Amino acid sequence: MSLVRTERRPRGEMNRVLVVDDEADIRELIDLTLARMGLAAECVGSVGEALAALGEGAFQLCLTDMRLPDGEGLEIVRHITEHYPQTPVAVITAYGSAENAVAALKAGAFDYLAKPVGLDQLRALVKSALRLPEGGQENDPLQSLIGDSPSMQQVRAMIEKLARSQAPIYISGESGSGKELAARLVHSRSSRSAGPFVPVNCGAIPENLMESEFFGYRKGAFTGADSDRDGFFQAANGGTLFLDEVADLPLAMQVKLLRAIQEKRVRKVGSVTEEPVDVRIICATHRNLRECVDKGSFRQDLYYRLNVIELRMPPLRERLEDIAPLVEAILRRLGGEHHPVLTSDAMRALEQYPFPGNVRELENILERALALCSGESVETDDLHLEPEECSAADGDGEGRGSETLDDYLNRLERQAILEALQKTDGNRTAAARLLGVTFRSMRYRLERLGIE
């Protein structure tokens, strides 16, 4: 017999919150705060009382202290996660007890609060928790993760679980494997979906501008600061901050980021006060963060703060059965309903290709093929996959040779542009149209690749 509670409260009935803390003054403070928010609180002081209350009625939220007279708050977290999965639970930890907070998040806690409890943070947490969406939504955005391979089914299931938590997420995977897409899907399925999703490429920000870009600045803080400006954290307030290529952050910035994540407060450049921010952090990098920690280029304490839960995006070569549906979806997006189709030989060539650039490279290959093919079919030659590149799938180590991935992709891009220019007698506007890019994008690519 299943022990999972599936009860729903009657329409119009007040939301109930279970508060577990052995300190009477904290219970009273939380009770009063929740009452002003129109919520009914049931306050208890031990693990045993909490489990008994859970067995007697349904709650829409649980707030529990970590240290209780008869046990640990983790017992309550695990019990709720197992038997009442629709009930979000948050923990209250002692100031500086980062290990307890991380353990609770890994056990299934929705979020955490540090003592002394800040009322602004408490209200923000409660509002966020009670907006958690129900499952089974129509127009499921997870369908944008194309493929039914076992690895992609696992990714979709993991995203569903992560969306119900506030724990920081570390998304690992090679370049082009869909890390930002996964982050956006976690955000869109979460209670923060109505808030902003702010993606930041950490490797693209000059080091001397990082602090002001992340935390904002006050007017007059430095030359050129002619007005107050918010940073990434303020822009993502109430939503999700996605830190792409987080391994590229310099050590000095890592220290400041760690404090912002731990304290949930930031100080603008030129300001003497901190301001609270309600942001969920999702980070990603194509590097191995553990190796970066071992080499000393990434702080160990920040690593453990960010890597509470890891989501691994599999490379395309590990899910070759997904290539056919990916090709169909990409061709439909690029060419419309009546797009050219790949011949069986062309599809076979793609399925034998190692895809060092993953799905992003597949998109580039198909976009180029549509621009260069003639007729209603895409032939193998239109893909411009050289034989030695395809042979890399057999594990002989050939293909790109000693080229870096960037050099390899730049070479393919240069080749496609030169062919388009040749077909249009050097007319850059016509070549851009042929390649399906804007003239401005074409001009940028010509300058970047040094094509006269």
Q: What is the pLDDT of residue 96?
A: 53
Statement to judge: residues 176 and 291 lie in one domain: yes
Given this model, what pLDDT does residue 9 score? 44
Interval 167-194: pLDDT, tens: 899 999 998 899 999 999 999 988 888 8
Q: Is the pLDDT of residue 3 over 50?
A: no
pTM for the full predicted model: 0.63
pLDDT-based confidence at 302, cuts 50/70/90? Answer: very high
430 touches 419 (CB < 8 A): no
Q: pLDDT tens-digit profile of 400-447?
A: 555 566 667 777 888 888 888 888 878 888 888 888 777 777 777 787
Q: Which of 129, 163, 189 is the last residue of a domain?
A: 129
Overall domain count for the chain? 3
Under the banding of pLDDT at 50, 70 and 90, the label for residue 98 is: low
**Residues 406, 374 share a domain:** yes
**Distance between CA atoms of residues 376 and 246, nearest Å:** 43
Question: CA-to-CA distance for 165 and 156, rounded, in angstroms?
Answer: 15
The predicted pLDDT at position 119 comes to 82
Percent of the chain scored above 90 by pLDDT? Answer: 37
Average pLDDT, the chain: 83
b/e for 177-206, b at 16 or more Cβ within 10 A? bbbbebbbbbbbbbbbbebebbbbebeebe
Domain that holds residue 430: 317-449
Q: What is the pLDDT of residue 97?
A: 61
Check whether residue 266 and residue 371 sit in a common domain: no
- In this structure, are 205 and 336 located in the same domain? no
Residue 4, pLDDT score: 38
45-89 per-position pLDDT tens digit: 999 999 999 988 889 999 999 889 999 999 999 999 888 887 889
The stretch 234-256 carries a mean pLDDT of 93
The domain that contains 355 carries what CATH number? 1.10.8.60
Poorest-confidence range of 242-251, 264-273, 380-389, 418-427?
A: 380-389
**Percent over 70 (pLDDT), the chain:** 88
- Quick one: 391 and 416 in the same domain? yes
440 domain residue, yes or no: yes
Instruction: Decide if 205 contacts 175 (C-beta within 8 A).
Output: no
Q: Are residues 265 and 377 in the same domain?
A: no
Total Cβ atoms within 10 A of residue 63: 30
Asked if residue 356 belongs to a domain, the reply is yes
Domain boundary residue, one of 312, 345, 371: 312
Instruction: Render pLDDT for 332-388 as a digit per residue (tens, 0 to 9).
Output: 888 777 788 899 999 999 988 988 889 989 988 998 888 888 778 888 888 888 554
The domain boundary, picked from 129, 161, 177, lies at: 129
What is d(CA 12, CA 393) in angstroms, rounded to the nearest whole number? 60
